[in-house]
Structure 1
Amino acid sequence: MFGTDRRVLALALARMADAVGNSFLIVVLPVYIASGTVSGSTFGLAEAMVTGIVLSLFGFLNSFTQPFAGRISDRTGKRKLFILLGLAILTATNIAYAFAGSYLSLVAIRALQGVGVAFTIPCTIALVNELATSDNRGGNMGIFNTFRLLGFGLGPIAAGSVVDGGPYTLAGIQLSGFDAAFYFAAVGAFVSYLLVTLLVSDPEQTQASAGEEFDLSLRDSEGGLDPVFTLGLTTLFLAISIALLATIEPTINDRLDQGKTWFGLQFAAFVLAQVALQAPVGRASDRFGRRPFIIVGMVILVPATFVQGFVDTSIQMLVARLLQGVAGALVFAPALALAGDLAREGQSGTQLSILTMAFGLGTAIGPLASGFLVRYGFEMPFEFGATLAALGAVLVYTQVEETVAVGADGEAETDSRLTPQD
């Protein structure tokens, strides 16, 4: 497909399968906690706060662990091993939810999941980077992200139906709707495990270059910001901007006089735009350069985010979210490809984990920011997000150089590329 290595396609399909399961839990866990099935001490906190801790703990532990996981995989040269370790943990913990009877056990399971997934994400992205060439890295990142987002979008759609359709009888054993959802998520992770086991292998150059010394820098040799660190900041700002919507759903629905269906469409519009555009944008960045797409995407993100604070109708919000999706598609794959171009041999895990960590942190910070800022006016969260988007555009324009040498005809010169700093 599109000249993509079969191992990259296998990784993309594996990521889609476990993304379906992971996104299941985003919908199922809050309902599961509220159902009364879970009991025990809440540590003196309200149930809603415990639910928030269970959901956010995954994101924070996952994000902060990723650079360490990426570094370990760089030192050992064993990407596949750590991907499988993470997927095995994810499979086991998804099953464990069905037996969790206390709030403390839910917190422990979700924390362990966060650490497990922290191994799969940077190691998978690093492996995609190493299996690609300089001529198709953007396209490969686009294909990978397309399948990942497709899985993330399909999960919540199916989750509610699985829970509401229970109880089920399987081989004479009765399962509640919640149990079925947890087992479904476990199956998704296990399918990913099988795909990686059977179809993926570490490239030889990864093993050969393992163990090199590496110091992650915030500044470059000329006194500016390190380009990979800059791309990480930009990814953080992007993720915060697109995640502002989730926490203030009731406020948005009241303001626009709309129901949950409209909000669901608006929330999904971003993902749909991503699925449609990630692959073609990634391939285009291989031909015309990475940096222009990232800058244009962040520039589009400014009005697309800002206007959400002032829309009057549901359709206007839907259009704004679609524009945010276009902006995200212009940034995601080219940014990962550019960081991959800059990654020194055997250090993809560490360097690319900066971007994946930043995205995870952004999706955790965004809802917290909107929940805090909305008290000062409905438009405040979106003005904050637009400001971050503008800052991201300026940072990329001033601190990041192109890695694809574009010829006079406007297309990449495949034999002449800028090389990473030694």
Structure 2
Amino acid sequence: MITLDITVVNVALPQVAADLDAHLGDLQWVVNGYTLMFAALLLPAGSISDRVGRRPVFLVGVAVFTLASLVCGAAPSVGWLIAGRAIQGVGGALVLSTALALIAGAFTGRARQSAIGAFSAAGGAAAAMGPLIGGLVVDGLDWRWIFYLNLPVCTLVIVGMLLRVRENADVQAAGSAGRRFDIVGTVLAVAGLLGINYGLVAGPEDGWTEAGTVASLVGGAVLIGGFVWWEWRLKDRAMFDIRLMAIPSFSGAILLSFVCRVISLGVLPYLILWLSGALGHSPLDTGLRLLAMTVPIMLVAPLSAVIQKLMPVQVVMAVGTALVGVGLFTLVGVGPGDAWTTALPGLVLMGVGGAIVFPPLMGLAVDVVAPERAGMASGMTNTFFPLGTASGVAVLGALFSARIGDGLSSAELTELGVPSAAQDGVREAVASGQFEQLAQGLPPAAREGVLEAARGALTDGLAQICLIAGVVAMVGAVVALVLIRGKDRLAVAVPEEQAAEATA
């Protein structure tokens, strides 16, 4: 549910806009309000769970997420919807920062790898299935049911947690003994991450040189620098022990967490705009076509444990990331007159690559730290997932919009018969995939020519961001080969095995 709610909203945005009279900027915040709070609170949530217990933090997170889903579903205005989405992000951070640590505490060895693989497969499938589920709900019911359907599922999760899940008392005691909650570090981390995320979200909308955008990015970077300095001073008492970055596999896991979201969820909104806008598919039809990426994830991800037995983990990560890159490169060749099937090989490769890379990635950081630091390690790694999503959506979106602006220049639109006063509206409609509204607002004589130019501009924009994301993926593959090392995992695994032998 936590991952699903990042992507499920995308296909419902036109209906939200019509129902709540929302503008493009409002819709961007409907998507990014969730990601903003999610990214900012993951790290302190993991630290809190190491001290007060993962089970209670998880339960509070699910309860907050449930209430926020109710607010979103019943929202009378777009402001209420954005507020509900932000509160959902708070609940999501509390849940995701503890879920992986709970799993890591309940299993050891190969059983842990299998459990983390199942957890990761569910998250990957949910992210990819979001457009399909959103399309089914929007076409069959109403956009509000995207949020209402969370309520019974959340209730079952709470009941299951109360009945079946127990806290690892030894890990909790080790994590909290003699350590105070790091208030200064929490404030610096939350404020810094909020500032960076806000700047990344506001940049494409307000302009990258606007005072508010620059202040957010610079201020966020300064605060994060202050956070690093403060945590270094605290050493063993730190919310995030900076010394862990000296473990190459830990640093590699953090970098790949960022890269993998940039090349997957950072690109996904623009694939949806191409399918729904340029090709004119309905929300349900768009979701069905993205099954080309979803089905490989669901088929390959459960085999993660087997794949890791056949190859070293660094090779697994490099191969998976490189496959995503190859898939993105194939999308560069999609033209304005091509059907969606032209993208089919690329979508399949992206799904297979994602299914290979995400399961081991989720466990890398946890496997190279002591058990009492699992919540902190999980929170830090997971922080870079939404940060990568926000960065990908923002930076790739800026490039996407700029390419559309170049393709629909004032000179070309004037030649096609579009009045000067309407040209900005045309470019904005194309960038948001609103081709139906665009057609309705054009003079009949100019309609066909403008729509043809619009499809070309949007497809060119998609090709450009796929090329850049493909290059980022290949850099990620090199990072995996250089930084991730099997012996880093053994440093934690060997003492665990020795302890088990001693107990026996």
Q: Which band: TM-score by shorter chain?
A: 0.7 to 0.9
Unaligned 5+ residue runs, structure 2?
Answer: 178-235, 404-459, 499-504
Deviations 1:44-91 (A, max 9, x none): xx7111111121010121012101100111122x11111110110111
Alignment pair present for 1:59 and 2:85: no
Determine helix, strand or coil for the equivalent of 1:310.
coil
> Cα offset for 1:194?
1.8
Partner in structure 2 of residue 203 of structure 1: 168
The code of the aligned residue for 1:191 comes to: L
Determine helix, strand or coil for the equivalent of 1:74.
helix
In our comparison, the structure showing a higher alpha carbon Rg is 2
> Cα offset for 1:254?
7.3
* Counterpart-to-counterpart distance in 1, 2:489 and 2:149: 46
Decide whether aligned partners of structure 1 residues 240 and 97 sit closer, same or farther in structure 2, where only a CA change above 3 A counts. Answer: same
Determine helix, strand or coil for the equivalent of 2:110.
coil
Deviations 1:112-157 (A, max 9, x none): 1111110000100111122221223221111112233444555543
Determine helix, strand or coil for the equivalent of 1:135.
helix
Determine helix, strand or coil for the equivalent of 1:362.
helix
Alignment pair present for 1:327 and 2:353: yes
Determine helix, strand or coil for the equivalent of 1:201.
coil
The code of the aligned residue for 1:305 comes to: L
| Residues 8, 146 of structure 2: 8 Å contact kept | yes
* Counterpart-to-counterpart distance in 1, 2:166 and 2:309: 25
Decide whether aligned partners of structure 1 residues 300 and 152 sit closer, same or farther in structure 2, where only a CA change above 3 A counts. Answer: closer
Partner in structure 1 of residue 343 of structure 2: 317
* Counterpart-to-counterpart distance in 1, 2:484 and 2:83: 40
Determine helix, strand or coil for the equivalent of 2:475.
helix
* Counterpart-to-counterpart distance in 1, 2:128 and 2:271: 20
| Residues 339, 351 of structure 1: 8 Å contact kept | yes
> Cα offset for 1:249?
3.8
* Root mean square deviation, CA, Å: 3.2
* Counterpart-to-counterpart distance in 2, 1:160 and 1:297: 28
Q: Give the TM-score of the pair, scaled to structure 1.
A: 0.78
Partner in structure 2 of residue 352 of structure 1: 378
| Residues 136, 286 of structure 1: 8 Å contact kept | no
Partner in structure 1 of residue 474 of structure 2: 390
Match of 2:18 among 35, 48, 57: 35
| Residues 54, 98 of structure 2: 8 Å contact kept | yes
The correspondence of residues 66-81 of structure 1 with structure 2, limited to 5 A, is 66-76=42-52, 78-81=53-56
Partner in structure 1 of residue 253 of structure 2: 231
The code of the aligned residue for 2:356 comes to: L
Decide whether aligned partners of structure 1 residues 298 and 154 sit closer, same or farther in structure 2, where only a CA change above 3 A counts. Answer: closer
The code of the aligned residue for 1:278 comes to: A
Matched residues, number: 374
> Cα offset for 1:293?
0.6
> Cα offset for 1:417?
9.3
Deviations 1:205-238 (A, max 9, x none): 32232226354356668xx674323211112111
* Counterpart-to-counterpart distance in 1, 2:378 and 2:356: 18
Alignment pair present for 1:267 and 2:284: no
Partner in structure 2 of residue 186 of structure 1: 151
| Residues 138, 337 of structure 1: 8 Å contact kept | yes
Partner in structure 2 of residue 143 of structure 1: 118
